[in-house]
A and B are shown apart, each in its own frame.
Chain A
Amino acid sequence: MSFLKINNLSVDYKMRRETVYAAKNVNIEVGKGEILGLVGESGSGKSTVANAIINLIDEPGKVSNGSIFLGDINIHKDPENIVKYRGKKVGLIFQDPQTSLNPIFTIGEQLIETIQTHLNLNTEEAKNKAITLLKEVGIKDAEKRFDNYPHQFSGGMRQRVVISLALCCEPELLIADEPTTALDVSIQSQILDLIKKLTKERNLAVILITHDMGVIAETTDRVAVMKNGHLVEIGPTKEILTKPKEIYTKSLVSSVPPTNKKIERFIIIEKENKSQSETNIKILNRWTKKEIVDQDLVQIKNLNKSFDDSFFTENSKNAVIAVDDVSFSIKEGQSFGLVGESGSGKSTIAKMIVNLFRPSSGDIYFDNVCITKIKSNKEMLKFRKQIQMIFQDPYSSLNGRLKVKDIVAEPIKLHNPSINSRDIDSYIYDLLESVELTQRSAERYPHEFSGGQRQRISIARALATQPRLLVCDEPTSALDVSIQAQILNLLKDLQEQLNLTILFISHDLPVVRQMCDRIAVLKNGKICEISKTENLFKNPSHDYTKELLTLMPKIESIYN
């Protein structure tokens, strides 16, 4: 017996030029004691559906069609209904626990306020109820922590408080919109376990919105796949993930990096992208290809970096140590992975290698030259040319005021001052085609491209100087999973054909496994262990690595 019934739901956004259908004829049912996963890429309408349930759709969007039943009541018939149900019958958990609690009230005050809004309890009763709830979501010393402010809790603990807020009025439906995306792996698994436990104990109907197929596989009973506002497929999780019927679902599942093995390439099943041929690397004939010799291209020795906020004193105690005595080396032509959670110092190391930061102490050797000791800009330019970087955020890494052509031309002109404009154009076209973009893209501005295409432009720009080392700082973490697969394929092809050396930085273990020959695991600025990829995944030696490996959500868990 399903508790929430969404019939033929359509949500329109009337824009200036066109009407955008954020959701079109969506039918979803959720029963009590069941977790429904809602997956889809960004812009697929999964959050729109959740917002429609609680009537939180922003102007100019509106529900143009369909009905939403909670039990037997059509909650959208009467606008007053939803005000009564929001918070009481329907609980909400948002993505970012940093912003979903009000920082100037204690968590106790926030809980009591919510409880008293919906339930007829006096303050003493409300407080007792709040403390019981906090205990239920796993907060120790609930009586003491009741009077704490949100900033006194860690991210994971804060998300537990948010869950207790969502539960405080005994809701029957819980909507969790990417509840663990902002959290680290270890905390993610705790929060998901908590949601699973509460679902069973309280007989809740739960909608879990996420883009992470591993989370879907481990947590949900049924799954609904959305694309462009349409519901593509809905059914039991195991069935959808193992025997997907629709092409889109198939390609989504095949794009997920497997956690248990290393594959050569991702299989991309897309109607428009039938050709499975390898990338046509046009710049190959321009490339002065380095023969791979068995020697270290990059050597990092005892690298340290601390950040100091204080203005007056040089050696203050407040200094934050971001990188702590890190040493490793990368062989020419290899790809080396740097894995760690947020704040582990991996991006800081990358920025020191590309010389955006100077290390506090320690040396970086590139091709047996110590690049951290170079003072003159002219000398540095020779190494700038050989070390390039691809950034995480494809939206801020391209200057929106320049055409793609000018973005890619900048490094070419700088490093070949004598090149004529005809050569530049043909070089740009070759670069763009090498990253699978059309020649016509050259005349456009970055805002006309999607995230994945922008990341391709970034790669083209990085390749323009013919680098030997490519530093990729979370190059796919801002992208959807099917785009991620394409970009990773591209990077693999480029590396193979151009003999690139890659330093690949990520928090995502399955991705690193697909990309890298050797991996270093970082925690709090220190290296826990360095080992060959397969070795690391099969026989981790450090406790932290073991913890990461057991806790990461695995799509394969569905087979067990």
Chain B
Amino acid sequence: MASKNLTFLNRIKDSDIYFSFIKSPTAIVSTTILIIIFFCSFFVEFVTPYNPFDPSSLSLMDAFTPPSWTEDGLAKFILGTDGQGRDMLATILYGSRISLIVGFSAVIFALILGVALGLTAGYFGGKYEMIVMRLTDVQLTVPSILMALLVDGIARGIISRELHDEMAIYVLIFAIGISEWPQFARVSRAATLVEKNKDYVSASTIIGVSNLIIMFKHILPNILRPVLVIGTIGLALAIIAEATLSFLGVGVPPTTPSLGTLIRLGNDFLFSGEWWITFFPAIFLVILAFSINLLGDWMRDTLNPKLN
């Protein structure tokens, strides 16, 4: 094999995953959309001149400007403005930043919790496994929205009012994460059951390697593929869950609006004709979730060793 002299970049180009990526238009389109969204959200200060959270830059005179291509539209507000004269495009991008942060953090939280429990359950088996798996069953019977409402309610009870707005985002991450971990636990347990019966695990046991090292050095890297696929699809679910909770008013505080908050705010104006205030954040959310799901689908097909 001549792979020795190849640089890291060439190794990627040479890999089968890259090959299947450039053969799949769905994967390319969804990745491009996601890269654009991520870039615009995290570097929003450089993308748009407006800052919807700086009251001095807002003018109520601009309120309810329709999108630029309609009769009353203004060229400087491409997607129009909301009831306070904020540029819709800028608000959406600022909002999606919050949504993405919450989504990613919740998935990472769920992934770490779920994989740790699933891996140990699959490896040790016995009563411990039974308890963990029944716990996931119980968790799965509680709808995630209900779970999140519950967590939010308890948090409101414990945390003082002043702190609450500050803590809201962490509560949200915890609430969404806690309702998503059973998926990760189940997948990683199933994969662990397959891996732990392979001879390389026996070989390590015979050498005398400790259980902890076998689990994390040997088994964990071998079960990551299905976990990452679940993680991608989980990210879309987490973003939607965040939007739902914010729409219901138990998510992030209105001072740092996310996509869900924007949709809720716009909802009030829907029947008075200002459709764009709720329509654009909603469409944006759909495109974001859809692209992540398509990418997850492609990953599942590519990373599944049975299909190769």
Residues of A within 8 A of B (CB): 16, 351, 354-356, 377, 380-381, 384-385, 387-389, 391-393, 396-402, 410-411, 414-415, 443-444, 448, 458, 461-462, 465
Known: A16-B19, A401-B222. Contact between A391 and B199, CB under 8 A?
yes
- Interchain CB contact under 8 A, A356 and B209: no
A113–B199 alpha-carbon span in the complex (Å): 43
Which chain B residues lie closer than 8 Å to A462 at the CB level? Answer: 203
- Interchain CB contact under 8 A, A393 and B1: no
- Interchain CB contact under 8 A, A465 and B199: no
- Interchain CB contact under 8 A, A396 and B206: no
Q: Closest CB-CB distance, B189 to chain A, in whole Å?
A: 18
- Chain B window 75-91, contacts with chain A (Cβ cutoff 8 Å), 1 for yes, 0 for no: 00000000000000000
Taking residues whose C-beta sits less than 8 angstroms from the other chain, chain B's interface range is 10 to 19
- Interchain CB contact under 8 A, A410 and B207: yes
Which chain A residues lie closer than 8 Å to B202 at the CB level? Answer: 351, 356, 389, 391, 397
- Interchain CB contact under 8 A, A384 and B208: yes
Supplied contacts A396-B199, A399-B218, A448-B1, 9 more A-B pairs, CB within 8 Å: A16-B16, A16-B19, A354-B206, A384-B208, A387-B206, A389-B206, A398-B203, A399-B222, A411-B208
A462–B19 alpha-carbon span in the complex (Å): 38
Which chain B residues lie closer than 8 Å to A380 at the CB level? Answer: 208
Check: B198 CB closer than 8 A to any chain A CB. yes
Q: Closest CB-CB distance, A190 to chain B, in whole Å?
A: 32
A108–B203 alpha-carbon span in the complex (Å): 46
A356–B198 alpha-carbon span in the complex (Å): 13
Q: Closest CB-CB distance, A413 to chain B, in whole Å?
A: 10
Check: B32 CB closer than 8 A to any chain A CB. no
Check: B143 CB closer than 8 A to any chain A CB. no
Which chain A residues lie closer than 8 Å to B209 at the CB level? Answer: 410, 414
Contact of A385 among B4, B16, B208, B210 (CB under 8 A): B208
Known: A401-B221, A401-B222. Contact between A384 and B207, CB under 8 A?
yes
A393–B201 alpha-carbon span in the complex (Å): 13
Which chain A residues lie closer than 8 Å to B208 at the CB level? Answer: 380-381, 384-385, 411, 414-415, 465
Of A385, A388, A414, A415, the most chain B CB neighbours within 10 A belong to A414
- Interchain CB contact under 8 A, B199 and A388: no
Known: A384-B208, A415-B208. Contact between A397 and B203, CB under 8 A?
yes
Tell me the chain B residues, 1-34 only, with Cβ under 8 Å from chain A.
Answer: 1, 4, 16, 19
- Interchain CB contact under 8 A, A399 and B206: no
Check: B53 CB closer than 8 A to any chain A CB. no
Known: A399-B222, A400-B222. Contact between A388 and B207, CB under 8 A?
yes
- Interchain CB contact under 8 A, A384 and B206: yes
Check: B200 CB closer than 8 A to any chain A CB. yes
Known: A16-B19, A448-B1. Contact between A399 and B200, CB under 8 A?
yes
Contact of A411 among B4, B207, B218 (CB under 8 A): B207
A381–B208 alpha-carbon span in the complex (Å): 6
Which chain B residues lie closer than 8 Å to A396 at the CB level? Answer: 198-200
Q: Closest CB-CB distance, B13 to chain A, in whole Å?
A: 12
Tell me the chain B residues, 216-236 only, with Cβ under 8 Å from chain A.
Answer: 218, 221-222
**8 interchain residue pairs of minimum CB distance:** A397-B199, A384-B208, A391-B199, A401-B221, A396-B198, A411-B207, A399-B200, A381-B208
Contact of A458 among B203, B204, B218 (CB under 8 A): B203
Q: Closest CB-CB distance, B52 to chain A, in whole Å?
A: 47
Tell me the chain B residues, 98-135 only, with Cβ under 8 Å from chain A.
Answer: none
A359–B221 alpha-carbon span in the complex (Å): 32
Q: Closest CB-CB distance, A452 to chain B, in whole Å?
A: 16
A444–B3 alpha-carbon span in the complex (Å): 10
Check: B256 CB closer than 8 A to any chain A CB. no
Which chain A residues lie closer than 8 Å to B207 at the CB level? Answer: 384, 388, 410-411, 414, 461, 465
Which chain B residues lie closer than 8 Å to A461 at the CB level? Answer: 203, 207
- Chain B window 158-172, contacts with chain A (Cβ cutoff 8 Å), 1 for yes, 0 for no: 000000000000000
- Chain B window 183-218, contacts with chain A (Cβ cutoff 8 Å), 1 for yes, 0 for no: 000000000000000111011111111100000001
Closest to B207 in A: A411
Closest to B1 in A: A448
Q: Can you list 16 A-B contacts with CB-CB less than 8 angstroms, sorted by A residue number?
A: A351-B202, A380-B208, A384-B206, A391-B202, A391-B203, A393-B199, A397-B200, A397-B202, A399-B204, A399-B222, A401-B221, A410-B209, A415-B208, A443-B4, A465-B207, A465-B208
Which chain A residues lie closer than 8 Å to B19 at the CB level? Answer: 16
Closest to B224 in A: A401
Q: Closest CB-CB distance, B124 to chain A, in whole Å?
A: 15
A461–B206 alpha-carbon span in the complex (Å): 11
Which chain A residues lie closer than 8 Å to B1 at the CB level? Answer: 444, 448
Closest to A356 in B: B202
Which chain A residues lie closer than 8 Å to B218 at the CB level? Answer: 399, 401-402
Closest to B130 in A: A311
Which chain B residues lie closer than 8 Å to A400 at the CB level? Answer: 222
Q: Closest CB-CB distance, A335 to chain B, in whole Å?
A: 19
A414–B218 alpha-carbon span in the complex (Å): 15
Q: Closest CB-CB distance, A375 to chain B, in whole Å?
A: 15
Which chain A residues lie closer than 8 Å to B204 at the CB level? Answer: 399, 410
- Interchain CB contact under 8 A, A389 and B222: no
Which chain A residues lie closer than 8 Å to B222 at the CB level? Answer: 399-401
Q: Closest CB-CB distance, A272 to chain B, in whole Å?
A: 18
A411–B206 alpha-carbon span in the complex (Å): 10
Which chain B residues lie closer than 8 Å to A387 at the CB level? Answer: 206
Closest to B204 in A: A410
Q: Closest CB-CB distance, B246 to chain A, in whole Å?
A: 40
